[in-house]
């Protein structure tokens, strides 16, 4: 961990589940800042915020936002998979690149897992690309206890497959 980040411990990060109109812009900026997502994907991230604002729980999209004061450090978006009895999809997890290495992502993931477990989730799915630049993303899922369960060749583009990770939760909420 870089020295500049280590100095900033302990963390004073709060988590928030309710989504506010101003999150549209903050989420869009954060997702674009990571450099991990295409413009199309960034637009989808913002659309999910808008769906959540418009429809609430009925949208199927649940959010957890990590903030320090009023500043968004990272967020995750997840929800039950329609047609399944106990599977959830981790649609998004992103951390401001200037805040990476502080445990924001790990803390967000753990808190989101507690929420999903409380909703009856037993299997959490997360997908990512097989391209070399997503190696940190894949390492993050593995570090969070996910396992690689399937691979879809050329899913996103020629040479760019989809890796499907899954994490099994115990029957009782942690």
Q: Which chain residues interact with a second copy by CB under 8 A? A: 38, 40-41, 44, 81-87, 122-123, 125, 149-158, 164, 166
Q: Which is nearer to a second copy, 16 or 36 (CB)?
A: 36
Q: Which is nearer to a second copy, 26 or 42 (CB)?
A: 42
The 3-class SS string of the chain reads CCHHHHCCCCCCCEEECCCCCCHHHHHHHHHHHHCCCCHHHHHHHHHHHHHHHHHHHHHCCEEEEEEECCEEEEEEEEEECCCCCCEEEEEEEEECHHHCCCCHHHHHHHHHHHHHHHCCCCEEEEEEECCHHHHHHHHHHHHCCCEEEEEEEEEEECCEEEEEEEEECCCCCC
Shortest distance in whole angstroms from residue 152 CB to a second copy: 6
Shortest distance in whole angstroms from residue 27 CB to a second copy: 16
Shortest distance in whole angstroms from residue 85 CB to a second copy: 4
Q: Which is nearer to a second copy, 1 or 142 (CB)?
A: 142
Q: Which is nearer to a second copy, 98 or 120 (CB)?
A: 120
């Amino acid at each position: 961990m870089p020295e500049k980040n280590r100095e900033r411990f302990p963390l004073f990060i709060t988590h928030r589940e309710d989504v506010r109109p101003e999150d549209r812009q903050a989420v869009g900026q954060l997702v674009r800042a990571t450099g991990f997502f295409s413009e199309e994907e960034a637009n989808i991230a913002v659309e999910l915020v808008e769906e959540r604002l418009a429809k609430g729980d009925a949208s199927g999209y649940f959010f957890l936002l990590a903030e320090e004061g009023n500043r968004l450090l990272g967020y995750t978006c997840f929800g039950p998979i329609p047609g399944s009895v106990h599977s959830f999809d981790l649609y998004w997890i992103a951390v401001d690149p200037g805040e990476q290495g502080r445990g924001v992502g790990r803390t967000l993931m753990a808190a989101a897992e507690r929420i999903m477990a409380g909703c009856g989730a037993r299997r959490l799915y997360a997908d990512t690309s097989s391209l070399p630049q997503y190696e940190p993303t894949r390492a993050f899922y593995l570090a969070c206890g996910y396992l690689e369960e399937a691979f879809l060749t050329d899913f996103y583009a020629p040479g760019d497959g989809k890796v499907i990770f899954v994490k099994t939760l115990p029957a009782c909420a942690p």
